[in-house]
Structure 1
Amino acid sequence: MKYLFLLTISPVQSFIEQARKTQDLKAGSQILSDLITFAIEEIERTTKKESFDLIFPEKTIESKPNRFITILETEENMQDFGDKLKAKIQTHFLKETENLLKKTGFFEKCREQLEDYFKIYWVAKKYYDEKTYEEQHKTLEGLLGAVKANRPFKQLEEKGRKCSVNGELNVKFYRKTSDETKYKREVKGDKRKLFHSDVMVIEHGKQYAGINRSDLDSGEGLCSISFLKRKWNLKLYKLGDEGEKVKANSFPSIPEIALLNVLSKIEEEYPELRGKINVIKNVNDQFFYDENITEKEYERIEDIAQTNGVPKNLIVEHQKEIAKAAKRLDLHLSTYYAILVFDADSMGNALKDKPKKYQKDLSKCLGDFAKQATDYIDGFSDKIQKGKTVYAGGDDFLGFINLDYLFEAMKWLRKNFDITINKGMEKLKHDSPNLSFSAGIAIAHYKTPLSEVLHWARASEKLAKKKYKDVEPSKNAFCLSVLKHSGEIHQTTWKWSYQDGSFTSTLDIISNLLNRLINEDVSSKFIKSLDTEFRKLIDDKGNIATTHNQIVRFELERLLKRAKEKSYEGKITELSDNLYTLFEKDKSQNLGEFVQLLEIIDFLHRHVNSTKPISQPKKELA
């Protein structure tokens, strides 16, 4: 008997984004992908292979979503088949977890938190070849909605200190601080810690079977789920010394992302510093910034430093050499980075009432784009790393981007999304789905909690969709949010393009002004002047009377001309007209939003380095 079968695993977004480290984020995505991969392979193994037809997602995609749809054939009762598959997934997850935690001897005390964490839902209906796939798929999606609306749950009652990462489950693993170990404080009996009896306490500076120093920071308490993220076997790759794709031992940290372009250029110009850069990466990557090399911070990671044979004075020397090299190359050690998330607009409508072949081919195009996006951001396609991908599903993406490559990466993603998916479907003899995506970008200081930056990135994406929901083409926008270390926040939302025949004309205009500021062709003083002059004319929402639009245009041009440096030979009128176009053609004509955009560009010009190759002769460090 043939069946149309759909299976989904949750939670998804909350599970992935409950993270303190970048590696937590990557692990959350991969755990879900690995479970879905196991389920697909299990169905393929236990049903008639000639009838197995995976519709979504593309089988070869690395970062699989939390669901799949397939046509399968089996003589087994479908209720038994589905329940057995669900049980196999749960058993597989527990077995993998036991293998990772067995050395700690603490798996059984973690079992209760683990075995009911993931909720697995499946639905199936008999599939008839003579009926249209579209109607049968629509019925299946309706069944899934009904199942989710009546989801059962098991109450897990826990009293005690909650996990440092998700704040939901009780702590199962805790590493003492140096003071707690030094003064032999008994944390289980300390009422301030609120520990229950089933918690594994690790002494500061000591090695334990199955627990590496990088798995647990001093004073950090993790539940079973969060600790599992630190232990999961990640499939990681990086650029090798010759630009080749090689296996990596860890996911890049936030300071590594922020300094990606700088460290790459230092290693290129001063190969003798490569070993010293790796020493700091292995000990504590925050030591790239001299403000962090304090007695307190060194004491916190002293056991790691001693394991690597690195005394504090050597770290100080290495940091000074790296900072000196950056200065000689006219680079600064950037403290800001970006998180970029995007989600395809109206994806449900693109699949609605579409035949099977159309959905399969669209899945293939999405899979092709996912691989291309990962290879581009991670640098495998052109040997220039711009950031690091957390997951790329084709219709969605989450990744870290180095600020120096931010607008370049945004342009590439938006243009190639259309080429690979919309044009790709046309090449496969289908009508174009005319898919677009909306993106949220959060730019933050490396010390800002990762969970906060993720929250702003996700909220920015939702705002981009919401603001332009009723503007044709619907959605198809991006939102930039800047979280300054001082606490000040800037946010602005725009369509990707206001120009026919271009996908990224807005970014072209932004990049042009940014380059003019970086090259000191134009002073940024015009931004403050524009804000000051019009502040009293805008309302609380940033709007200005349309009768003043021409005044805005003339004043913008006048201020830019005053801000122009004598050495700049470019046309200021063209720059001014392009900037005004953004204000004029946007549906809101919101001057407050426009000024926010200019202020963000001004902020970025002070925090980015050029991505061009070093052109000046190499200067000796000595």
Structure 2
Amino acid sequence: MESLLAIALGPVQEFIATARRTRDLYAGSRLLSEAARAAAEALLPEVGAEGFIFPAPKDAEELERLGEAGIPNVLLVRVPAGKDAARLGEKALEAARAYLRGRAKAVFARGHVRHKEALDQVEDFLEGYYAHVPLQDKDAYPKARERVMALLAARKNTRDFAPVAWGGPEYKSSLDGARESVLVLPEGRERALRLRLGLREGEYLSGPDLLKRWWETETGFVSTTHMAAMPFWEGIRRAGKEAALRQGLKELAELAGEGAEARTYHPVLAETPFREWDVRLLYESRLEEFPALAEDGERLEAARKRLRALLQELGLGAPGSYYALLHADGDRMGEAIDRQADPGRHRALSRKLSLEFAQKVRGVVEGLGGGLVYSGGDDVLALLPLHTSLRGCRKRVVFLRDEL
């Protein structure tokens, strides 16, 4: 007979919550989502697209699109009769681990880390669990789903423990306090290297921390500084002073030297000067983060004077330092899932959540000038500038209600 297989990847809260920068937050969310996609891709030839209940792609191409939107860390699939559900669970977990292992090797190739220890920490970090039960017929689906999810929860509570293979006398991670730092920063060059590697003074990071911090995307992800500066940019635009701001940023960038050009090409920055120059140039307290300014006091003072003159010329005051974090999820979603009497109806609900909601949320958030950290199922986490944040909350509520 068929089986119902549930797979969970984690630890979600620890991987996402130990973030100091939005880059860490976004990367933690994306890496887990992509690991879940790798697990789903490993199962696709075994169970077929029609075997997936959550997520519920119609084919491999659609699964890839779902991965771009965000796949939750729990997969639910129907295993055909004659297939070994336990073997498929192991296969999916190994695919997820292999994905993270491959990404870590690529990221750590830039150097400045104890390579073996960093990879060992990443290997040890990912937790994966699965449970399966027989599925006798579609009418027994609600009880089978309830049973398999209860077994999965019990399996997660019965955690695996093994000796630590990467312990040492180094400083503990500044973010989680559990794993040792794997950074290698030679004396005399430590300050300069920290600036170039995106590390703060006194920040010591483990392998999982660095995997998030150094993980690169084609567009990058907006920072909290971008979000805080967007209302300022809107004021500049309305006042017709775009040219003056762009010229001032250009001159500041010449003083700041290396790192002053923008490295984030997020869609919401397309029409702003922050597509060309680093937004930190507008904040006096952030100027020392540019190596050329940190190492030359006279140059730093010249940059400060130019920034003050620019802000006085623009006449709108200094950019703000506040932004909004939107975190939302749909109420009573568990009840809605419990009402699905068979796998087909549950699969249809999954498609509603993933295709008609999660994939469209990005457009809604970016239309408000924000950055989407995650949208999976009915969950949303996004950064918004203050001047659009209340409108964004209302749009999110109405959008979810109308789609579901």
Alignment TM-score, normalising by the size of structure 1: 0.53
Partner of 1:352: 338
CA deviation profile, 1:398-438 (whole Å, cap 9, x unmatched) = 111211112111111112211111xxxxxxxxxxxxxxxxx
* Structure-2 change in CA distance of 1:402 and 1:74 (3 Å): same
Check if 1:143 corresponds to 2:130: no
SS of structure 2 residue aligned to 1:344: coil
Match of 1:79 among 70, 73, 86: 86
Match of 1:342 among 328, 348, 372: 328
Check if 1:302 corresponds to 2:291: yes
Shift of 1:326: 4.5
SS of structure 2 residue aligned to 1:34: helix
Shift of 1:395: 1.2
Q: 2:172 touches 2:181 (CA, 8 Å); kept in 1?
A: yes
Match of 2:359 among 356, 371, 375: 371
Q: In structure 2, what is the Cα distance between the partners aligned to 1:68 and 1:212?
A: 40
Check if 1:53 corresponds to 2:42: no
Shift of 1:130: 4.8
What pairs with 1:137-536 in structure 2 (closer than 5 Å)? 137-156=145-164, 159-173=169-183, 175=185, 181=188, 203-206=190-193, 213-234=196-217, 248=219, 250-266=220-236, 269-272=240-243, 273-274=245-246, 276-277=248-249, 279=253, 282=262, 285-290=279-284, 292=285, 298=288, 301-303=290-292, 311-312=299-300, 315-316=303-304, 318-320=306-308, 322-324=310-312, 326-327=314-315, 330=316, 333-355=319-341, 356-367=343-354, 368-379=356-367, 384-385=368-369, 387-421=370-404
Shift of 1:129: 3.8
> Gaps spanning 5+ residues in structure 1: where?
182-201, 235-246, 422-622
* Structure-2 change in CA distance of 1:166 and 1:275 (3 Å): farther
SS of structure 2 residue aligned to 1:219: coil
Q: 1:174 touches 1:222 (CA, 8 Å); kept in 2?
A: no
Q: 1:175 touches 1:216 (CA, 8 Å); kept in 2?
A: no
Shift of 1:28: 0.3
- Which residue identity does 2:51 align to in structure 1? F
> Gaps spanning 5+ residues in structure 2: where?
58-62, 254-259, 263-276
* Structure-2 change in CA distance of 1:414 and 1:170 (3 Å): same
Q: In structure 1, what is the Cα distance between the partners aligned to 2:163 and 2:151?
A: 25
- Which residue identity does 1:148 align to in structure 2? K
CA deviation profile, 1:457-480 (whole Å, cap 9, x unmatched) = xxxxxxxxxxxxxxxxxxxxxxxx
Q: 1:57 touches 1:69 (CA, 8 Å); kept in 2?
A: no
What pairs with 1:514-593 in structure 2 (closer than 5 Å)? none
- Which residue identity does 2:79 align to in structure 1? L
Q: In structure 2, what is the Cα distance between the partners aligned to 1:204 and 1:337?
A: 29
Partner of 1:444: none
Shift of 1:217: 3.2
SS of structure 2 residue aligned to 1:389: strand
* Structure-2 change in CA distance of 1:76 and 1:366 (3 Å): closer
* Structure-2 change in CA distance of 1:365 and 1:321 (3 Å): farther
Q: 1:18 touches 1:166 (CA, 8 Å); kept in 2?
A: yes
Q: In structure 2, what is the Cα distance between the partners aligned to 1:54 and 1:118?
A: 23
SS of structure 1 residue aligned to 2:125: coil
Which of 1 and 2 has higher RCO (CA within 8 Å, sep 6+)?
2
Check if 1:110 corresponds to 2:123: no
Shift of 1:226: 0.4
* Structure-2 change in CA distance of 1:281 and 1:103 (3 Å): closer
Partner of 2:60: none
Q: 1:57 touches 1:68 (CA, 8 Å); kept in 2?
A: no
* Structure-2 change in CA distance of 1:256 and 1:325 (3 Å): farther
Identity %: 22
Q: 1:174 touches 1:221 (CA, 8 Å); kept in 2?
A: no
CA deviation profile, 1:485-519 (whole Å, cap 9, x unmatched) = xxxxxxxxxxxxxxxxxxxxxxxxxxxxxxxxxxx
Q: In structure 2, what is the Cα distance between the partners aligned to 1:411 and 1:147?
A: 39
Alignment TM-score, normalising by the size of structure 2: 0.80
* Structure-2 change in CA distance of 1:48 and 1:252 (3 Å): closer
* Structure-2 change in CA distance of 1:304 and 1:117 (3 Å): farther
Shift of 1:172: 0.8
Q: 2:293 touches 2:300 (CA, 8 Å); kept in 1?
A: no
* Structure-2 change in CA distance of 1:331 and 1:90 (3 Å): same
C-alpha RMSD of the superposition: 3.1
Partner of 2:29: 29
Shift of 1:100: 2.0
CA deviation profile, 1:232-261 (whole Å, cap 9, x unmatched) = 233xxxxxxxxxxxx52x322222111112
- Which residue identity does 2:241 align to in structure 1? Y
- Which residue identity does 2:326 align to in structure 1? L
SS of structure 1 residue aligned to 2:177: coil
Q: In structure 2, what is the Cα distance between the partners aligned to 1:119 and 1:155?
A: 15
